Chain A
Amino acid sequence: MARSRELVLALLAILAITGLYAGYAQAVSVPAASGLIGHSLGIVGFLMMLMTETLYSLRKRAMRRPRGSMRSWLQFHIFTGLVGSYLVVLHSAWSFNGLAGALTVMTIVVVGSGFVGRYIYTAVPRTADGVVIEAQELQGQLDLVRREMAMAQGAGAAIPSGTARHQDRRANRRLREIERQMAALRWARRVLATWHAIHIPLGMALFVMAFVHIGAAVHYATLLR
């Protein structure tokens, strides 16, 4: 539960928003995209998506003057990504015409992609601070165990002592565990790289479309009204 708190919060927020939205739609009508509520949904949702895209990325690269833990920013990233995109979808007023419709679809696609990416990402081993354990560190640990094994065999030439056998077994378990971790890390990094190669262009396409959509809305619905 604690590990997926942001998901719970996002779910609660989405449920609350859905309730308000449904209530308004029932009492009045589905908020038009161009109305006060519709525009508000779009603007807030877009800003949250923009924060999703930028703040976590900036934090990851802010090594000299970090603010907050990486985990907190990731939680915020996930929360805004889910809630913001949901608001944007509501902003569409369930109309999927032209660029705006494509933008809505793209939003759903990118959010889904991000959701998948999140689980790939969490599969990558990390320290408490979330820093990926470098392969060298794993290899160092393996070498240490193997040295311990060799030392144990040299000391008890004929019959290894009970203590040495015990250490050997433990070292072997540790070795196999580390080897599995390394294999999983390699797999995860490959998958993550692949996911990045897909997700990031999609996200870029999404934001380009969003800005064009905003520009068109301002142009037609504000400047030309």
Chain B
Amino acid sequence: MRRPLGCLTFSALIAAVLVVLAIVVAAAATGNGIFSPGRLSSVAHGGAVGGVASHAELEGRCEACHAPALSGERMGDRCLACHTTVTNEIASGGGLHGRLAASAATCRDCHTDHRGATAALTLADPRVFPHEQTGYSLAAHSLSGRGVGVGCRECHPASPVSYSAPTCVGCHQGLDAPYMTAHLAAFGSACLNCHDGVDSYGKTFTHATYPLTGGHEKTECGACHKQATTLAVLRATSTECVTCHAAKDIHQGRLGSNCAECHSPAGWTGATINHDRTRFALVGRHVGVLCESCHVERHWTGIGTTCSSCHAKDDPHRGQFTGDCAACHAATGWKDVTFDHAKTGFALTAGHAKPACAACHAGGRYVATPTTCNACHAKDDAHSGSFGKDCASCHKTTTWTDATFDHSRTQFKLTGAHAGVTCQKCHIGGLFKGTPTACSSCHAKPSSHTSAFAGSCSTCHSTKAWKPATFNHNQTHFKLTGAHVGAACQKCHTSSHFSDASTACSSCHAKPSSHTSAFAGSCSTCHSTKAWKPATFNHNQTHFKLTGAHVGAACQKCHTSSHFTDASTACSSCHAKPSSHGSNFTGSCSTCHSTKAWKPASYNGPHTFPQRHGGAGGVCSKCHPSSWTSYSCARCHSNKSMIDKHKGRSGFSLTTCANANCHPTGGGD
């Protein structure tokens, strides 16, 4: 079998073994130093770190930096274990490593070793180094390109991780010494407070947020950016004009704070003022007028805003009006008068609105023009002055004819039918004043009234209408009640004299024949005005008060004759003694009977024998079976034992038991 590879010869295998042995021996002898790709750096930076001054002291101690495999520890962890300064920067987020957000995993991105004793440990490529993460971009300090580049050492002469402001100042002084001197004076020397490397504040700065034109072009930065030593303050500089120019404001703040409305950065002169911003906006014919027309001799302030400030000489009213012209005149023209006459207290309404001003204001006289109607309309008075001078009390400004007189202002208020009557009905001949208010002055007394109605018409008549007339009878001595209310006046007032009617009932109501002379008294004793019938009599005012069954009994039951007064009060006068009573009941009926009813009667007289004896219970017939004056005990005591008991007793009879000698009270043996 041929060898698959020609190299696998005996000698080759021997050589391989020998080489392996040699490597093992060399590795053991050098502490794995034969695997080192190069010498470690012997450059010492300051004091000892991790117990050594430089990495060179760690030669042969690979494990000092190379953690054991599979231990979970990275080489970066061992870097940070020794370089505690860097560890602290990372923890705090400050310093170079903190700002670069470095970590144990990224140490190798910038640092290495085994490149020789004098080789640099930092291999960060400055062209790709994220310098902006340090808080300062190299956008304006390119390391290369644009002709001349800036080297790291030019800004970091001492150390790549340190910086000092004088380095900036020194370099930029060389570029523009006068500017830098002024710049330092205005903004201080803490360059990084404002400059982050991107903004490029300087010659190429465009000031785009607030374009500098005109006078601003030559202004020193510090003139506006006062005490601005940080970027925040610098950017917070107000763009309001007054922020810088308030002290020189010749308008003393009167025209507001926005200078740019009139002025431009080109200069304070040549302002294009918006007159609306002043207290006197230009409108109407004021627009287009030469400024000097008002601002005489170019006096821009203190001109005054009243019309008279400029137009005093134009006053055709010869000073009548002390107020402002604008109260009547508009800026569009003198003739464009918009006077509110109502402000004078004399509003021009209706007919007053049309006439020319001169109709009232004759001779151009406007002030103190009288406001009375008569002042102008005296010649128009159709009443020849009879109504005085206050035409407006009746007339309106519309026309003379639509006068509306408030008659209620007179002593004769128009009510009822008077309201619709034409004025001439009463005011005959155009005479209004002095018209009498008496009814009879207009209304003639009808013949029917004769002399009986001597009083005022209004006693019975109202302005509503003559008829029906109404009389309040209650104001007389005879108040109308009951059936009298609806009765026709003529029923009682039979003559044309109303006042002679008698108040006696009999004057109107004839006494019926049935009453004869028995009813000599007043009709009202029994009758009321409600109606003649039924008549009612209060019997209780007599000696015989009606009680019990007497109350409902018809009068004729007792008063059998037409004379009511001759009726007897004795019971027997009305109630005949029944035959059953015989001669036994000689006393008064009321001994046993009440007015409640004849029956049941009850004996209320003397009765020595107990009425409830032997269970009689007050029932008379128990003992008095045949006669009230006699009695019989036999109904209860007729038994043989009773008879046997009284054997030998003389006079024993069951009808004499109650004798005084025997059983007067029903008891005893």
Q: Which residues of A contact B (CB under 8 A)?
A: 32-34, 53-54, 57-58, 60-61, 95, 97-100, 102, 196-197, 200-205, 207-209, 212-213, 216, 219-220, 223-225
Contact = CB atoms under 8 A, between A and B. Distances in A.
B2 interface: yes
Given A32-B115, A224-B75, A225-B74, A200 B35 contact: no
A224 B19 contact: no
B342 interface: no
Given A97-B39, A99-B35, A53 B15 contact: no
29 contacts: A53-B7, A57-B7, A60-B6, A61-B2, A61-B3, A61-B4, A61-B6, A97-B38, A98-B34, A100-B35, A100-B37, A201-B9, A201-B11, A201-B15, A202-B15, A203-B7, A204-B12, A204-B13, A204-B15, A205-B16, A209-B23, A212-B20, A212-B23, A213-B35, A219-B35, A220-B62, A224-B67, A224-B69, A225-B75
Contacts of A54: 5
Given A61-B4, A225-B108, 12 more contacts: A53-B5, A57-B5, A61-B3, A61-B6, A95-B38, A98-B35, A99-B23, A99-B26, A200-B11, A201-B14, A202-B15, A223-B69
Contacts of B264: none
User: Across chains A and B, which 9 residue pairs bring their CB atoms closest together, nearest first?
Assistant: A201-B15, A204-B12, A216-B35, A98-B34, A224-B66, A99-B34, A205-B19, A208-B19, A57-B6
Contacts, number: 89
Nearest to A97: B38
A32 to B, nearest CB: 7
A100 B67 CA distance: 22
B562 interface: no
B262 to A, nearest CB: 62
Contact of A205 (B15, B26, B70, B108): B15
Contacts of B137: none
B18 interface: yes
Nearest to B75: A225
A104 to B, nearest CB: 12
A200 B19 contact: no
A105 to B, nearest CB: 13
Nearest to B127: A28
A207 B16 CA distance: 8
B11 A95 contact: no
Interface centre among B6, B16, B62 (most CB of A within 10 A): B6
A97 B37 CA distance: 6
Interface of B: 2-7, 9, 11-16, 18-20, 23, 26, 30, 33-39, 62, 66-70, 74-75, 108, 112, 115
B150 to A, nearest CB: 19
A97 B115 CA distance: 10
A51 B19 CA distance: 22
Contacts of A57: 5-7
A197 B7 CA distance: 10
A61 B12 CA distance: 18
B35 to A, nearest CB: 4
Nearest to B107: A225
B173 to A, nearest CB: 34
Given A97-B38, A208-B19, A224-B75, A58 B5 contact: yes
A224 B78 CA distance: 11
Given A220-B62, A220-B66, A200 B7 contact: yes
Interface centre among A34, A54, A224 (most CB of B within 10 A): A224
Contacts of A99: 23, 26, 34-35
A32 B36 CA distance: 14
A53 B12 CA distance: 13
B124 to A, nearest CB: 13
Contacts of B2: 61
Contacts of B14: 201
Contacts of A197: 11
Contacts of A100: 35, 37
B342 to A, nearest CB: 97
Contacts of A97: 36-39
A220 B7 contact: no
A186 to B, nearest CB: 21
A16 B245 CA distance: 72
A99 B69 CA distance: 21
Contacts of A209: 19, 23
A204 B3 CA distance: 15
A98 B66 contact: no
A98 B29 CA distance: 12
Contacts of B67: 224
A200 to B, nearest CB: 5
Contacts of A33: 37
A54 B12 CA distance: 14
A208 B16 contact: yes
Nearest to A197: B11
Nearest to B125: A28
Nearest to A204: B12
A34 B37 contact: yes
B121 to A, nearest CB: 13
A73 to B, nearest CB: 13
A207 B69 CA distance: 25
Contacts of B11: 197, 200-201
